[in-house]
Structure 1
């Protein structure tokens, strides 16, 4: 393992004593997991130690890793090994076991074990509806979503990982419009991802430009009393359905797409696509997923996930070691089936264990797909790349199913198999098919889906679901993958800062596979170093002419791949994943709402079960801005090419808004125009632009600090500093503003952070220290300016001054601040957020 990978492993997975120190070595940690999972095989008459050794070998060779809860929970008193759960919420305040607050209690207990929860709020009556028992008005799903969000923010979450949540609301629910915009203020709901449950009927209405009814069972009907089902079940039961509002389908679609373009949420889940492959339709309809959207689950179900590391299955001469991959899939499938038995779940919520054993879902996926494509010389996103990815995932699914059939032969099928699509007496399961005919031969062994069908008829199958491609944030870091999950590589080279006993070490990270390829092309050390320095600029080699063209063809990173290619890659793999996959469709900063709209429609047409998008820098946009201001920023009339769908570049709800009064009225009023000075300086968190505006007498009056994307933690801290200093400057006081600013400099100067930038007198220790340097420079220049002219400025003007640094140090500026290491290296990927500097993950 690399030093970074080993550090992450020790920090996340090794058990610790009451003093916080490790009580096991890394090797002992792997054996603890291997042995405690293998131990359940005793009940099936197997040799526990022999199987434990096999599990230990596949783990320590990094050919397969289970999800993080299995590493942290196996063989511990907690013993909770699953990452994701879905809990039901019915329209009841407490009598029913699935009622609003009973489910909140169950979810809190799961959160304490580090598990994440998914919920569909679609069964809750709309806000303002009549509540017969109290003659009051219903809170509605968004109101209770906020209740849940606040509660989870207070729950002390156990283990070494933070639990996350997913809220889903159907596109025909009367409150869906409010739901779509409920996270416009990114600080209002912080413990949930949100997704709209989309139906085929809605997408068809969008295509045909027809109206769409927002409806819910009539809660005043005597038949509704005690009802807890879905909208379709209400219709089947003869309960009247009330239409609350009729909207234009394209207008609602526009609202969803515009909000996703703004900040990546809501995501979209395609309900009908998921239910077409629901393995147990006789038990339930699928309504919700886990927090990252890749795992569809029924009420109280959970799934034990794991990933085969494709970067450890390279064959010679840029080929795939298919036989090694087959063996890893076989053993990994058995491992995950054993996890279902070994898991202690949450004893206080017995429905969890019952649901898990009933269907015995497992989720075997992959990580390092991009690594394998670098090795084989195939461009991620190309037609060839789509076929390659499909062939790899088909191979995994095929061998996982054969293994599950063998396990059923040994120890029996999942208990709920009668009536499922795998019912041996009436098999309705159909072998998966690629989106387009294969034309390439990468030496993959032949696949015979007929043998799978015959095996199911003869023996059944052990697991109702077998495959899921989940986020692999921490485990991919430990495994040493360059590409997380099924995502492309994020960057070929960048700077990573490491804290070594209080010393800041700058380590240059370069893709080992890229370096190897450069070496194979005959480049010497100096040539490679020069190329890598150029690649370091933005992480891509596409604009570095000195990189051999053949390498540029397939050494692509996420930013080099079009959104359409991202979607088509997802769809190609989805064809062979019986659950779903966690992937983010990344758009460049210039992407329009129309681009996002096109991606959504393409994902639906290609059979994806959901889609998550993220527009680079999208949080720099302010949804509640005036149209006039937006047009000024755009430099045009704000129109987009999406006229066919009635989609505008800016939110339909945008209207004239005003800044709230932040301070008491004893502060000095702001004139209409002020002269100002803008300074630019490097800080440990990247370049900052600091504007100081002056009032009468050339006194400093207000300060604005722009240091990162709006919505990021860095930007929040910067804005807070600017507001507080401005507050101090504008208070009515007998102390001159310039003297107040000098005191601010004294308070901020010298504050240390996680690392420093520069040397000697120009050393910047932190963002506050960098601000102090700028303010000190401004005060000095102000004195010199006034001494030379003696005439205060009388018109609004801005001067840009660049403060030189002693050393030009490249910084890792690829994302948001990491709450663990402080690096600006947290990016949106795999449907979640992860840090490329230290391996921290919010998956």
Structure 2
């Protein structure tokens, strides 16, 4: 994150492959429109978001940093028949990135014209405008012969608009774009590759947390083969070979000049080719001039990489104007989520190490204590403003509470769901050994007297309806009677068991029941007016 300290950045990423037509061409106008819509949504969220500290809140709202980005670049280049580590691939990626950020800043200027620039813009105007000019100049340095004219023209026009509109209205956002890793959302968007990355391998294996391996095959290869002129029959033979061998090297009918299109970050199990670390760095250097912030990208080094190789990677990244890189040497971690092979012996070693760690951790895990199928219980009846209810506490064999049920007459589906959820939560606390003294204290009610009654009113120390009796008092009295019943059952009560009685359970559940009853009129009104859908 390359912005001021104590600030925040709302992220969003677009799946580039969703803008590819059936004929394989990229829909420039549709992509630019998507950038406008998503960027506006990100901007709206700045004011509606909550931030962890006052300092971050102040800076986020005074600078309004955004981070629009994309995923699936590696798949897009492969689909077009462009090698990731090639001048053509880098120029195409630079043009896509220039269009995205240029359009984002143009939209930021339009928003500033409507609602004003970001609060800190006046004191940063000179510097901000100078950076915009540098972005635009970089767009005009992209080699035109390497990029489709429609794409490059749109990218340059976007920057022309961003600069001209910004001079008049300023900008709504101090930052517009970053390239995030998109590790999780790329799976949700059905991407073959993440962020600005190439594919790790055409065939890879994902190690599952619960054990076992999941085989993942790149789904972009058939489209790439069609783009390169292969027939359906030839393409089918090549993809079958990839699935069987784990590599495209040696595939029947594949031309040698097309091998680099399918190069990936890791060397395949049965192959020798991969993208060099300089290929990663050069790609980052190509797109960095069109990114407001930094690029989250892994620079992959082989297992044989030395200290000098790592030092060279950092130095070359600096020379290419890259703001930040993350070096990863293959095999440097004992367990990695993705690998290019499913070696049984290696998997067994990894599994054994993982199991060992889990067993060590498991010693200190809380253990859930299950109730017997048949158990004793106590049930207490109460009535509040004419609404009758019952609290049932199931007990362990030693007499300590193990579960809680709250039942109210005329409760309806909404209140029933609330009571069930609360009772389940308290029951789990009981079964995991959480002392009742650690539950939140009973809130004190002021000026909201709700005098109820129960079948054991005579046992309460305060007369029914006495002055000053609040909901909390009433609940406390009900719990007091429940405690007396507990004593009459002659339950052993020593040490912690003395704390684990039913008093707090009764008090807490009754309190929630009262709070829920208080809001029922508003709930009914919302349901009548169809202003909200409420389900159990």
Q: TM-score range by the shorter chain?
A: 0.5 to 0.7
Give the conservation status (yes or no) of the 8 Å contact 1:361–1:466.
yes
Aligned residue number for residue 557 of structure 1: 264
Deviations 1:474-514 (A, max 9, x none): 11001000010000011222456889xx9x99765322221
* TM superposition shift of 1:528: 4.8
Deviations 1:72-131 (A, max 9, x none): xxxxxxxxxxxxxxxxxxxxxxxxxxxxxxxxxxxxxxxxxxxxxxxxxxxxxxxxxxxx
- The structure 2 residue matched to 1:512, chosen from 219, 231, 244, is 219
Deviations 1:391-420 (A, max 9, x none): 110111110011101111111110110121
Larger Rg: 2
State how far apart, in whole Å, the 2-side matches of 1:417 and 1:720 are: 52
Q: Name whichever structure is richer in helix by fraction.
A: 2
Aligned residue number for residue 300 of structure 1: 6
Deviations 1:720-741 (A, max 9, x none): 99xxxxxxxxxxxxxxxxxxxx
Give the conservation status (yes or no) of the 8 Å contact 2:107–2:162.
no
Matched, 1:476 2:186: yes
- The structure 2 residue matched to 1:606, chosen from 320, 323, 326, is 320
State how far apart, in whole Å, the 2-side matches of 1:593 and 1:497 are: 29
Give the conservation status (yes or no) of the 8 Å contact 1:370–1:486.
yes
Aligned residue number for residue 34 of structure 2: 328
**Aligned pairs (5 A) from 1:6-21:** none
Cα pair distance change 1:350/1:565, threshold 3 Å: same
**Aligned pairs (5 A) from 1:250-265:** none
Unmatched tracts of structure 2, length 5 or more: 267-273, 335-340, 360-536
Aligned residue number for residue 133 of structure 2: 430
Deviations 1:136-167 (A, max 9, x none): xxxxxxxxxxxxxxxxxxxxxxxxxxxxxxxx
State how far apart, in whole Å, the 2-side matches of 1:497 and 1:584 are: 19
Give the conservation status (yes or no) of the 8 Å contact 1:493–1:532.
yes
- The structure 1 residue matched to 2:85, chosen from 378, 381, 387, is 381
Q: Name whichever structure is richer in strand by fraction.
A: 1
Instruction: Report SS of the residue matched to 1:363.
Output: strand
Instruction: Report SS of the residue matched to 2:75.
Output: helix
Unmatched tracts of structure 1, length 5 or more: 1-294, 621-682, 690-705, 722-843
Give the conservation status (yes or no) of the 8 Å contact 1:497–1:506.
yes
Instruction: Report SS of the residue matched to 1:552.
Output: helix
State how far apart, in whole Å, the 2-side matches of 1:529 and 1:607 are: 38
Give the conservation status (yes or no) of the 8 Å contact 2:66–2:175.
yes
Instruction: Report SS of the residue matched to 2:233.
Output: coil
Aligned residue number for residue 61 of structure 2: 357
Aligned residue number for residue 707 of structure 1: 349
Instruction: Report SS of the residue matched to 1:509.
Output: strand
Deviations 1:569-599 (A, max 9, x none): 0111111101111001001122222222211
Matched, 1:594 2:308: yes
**Aligned pairs (5 A) from 1:791-810:** none
Matched, 1:309 2:15: yes
Aligned residue number for residue 575 of structure 1: 289
- The structure 2 residue matched to 1:453, chosen from 163, 179, 184, is 163
Instruction: Report SS of the residue matched to 1:613.
Output: strand
Give the conservation status (yes or no) of the 8 Å contact 2:79–2:223.
no
* TM superposition shift of 1:707: 2.5
Give the conservation status (yes or no) of the 8 Å contact 1:468–1:580.
yes
**Aligned pairs (5 A) from 1:539-688:** 540-544=247-251, 546-549=253-256, 551-559=258-266, 560-619=274-333, 686-688=344-346
- The structure 1 residue matched to 2:101, chosen from 389, 397, 400, is 397
Number of residue pairs aligned between Structure 1 and Structure 2:
336
Cα pair distance change 1:544/1:421, threshold 3 Å: farther
Aligned residue number for residue 135 of structure 1: none
**Aligned pairs (5 A) from 1:813-832:** none
State how far apart, in whole Å, the 1-side matches of 2:250 and 2:304 are: 18
Cα pair distance change 1:600/1:684, threshold 3 Å: closer
TM-score, normalised to structure 1's length? 0.37
Instruction: Report SS of the residue matched to 1:319.
Output: coil
Instruction: Report SS of the residue matched to 1:305.
Output: strand
Aligned residue number for residue 414 of structure 1: 118
* TM superposition shift of 1:381: 1.7
Give the conservation status (yes or no) of the 8 Å contact 1:364–1:468.
yes
Aligned residue number for residue 747 of structure 1: none
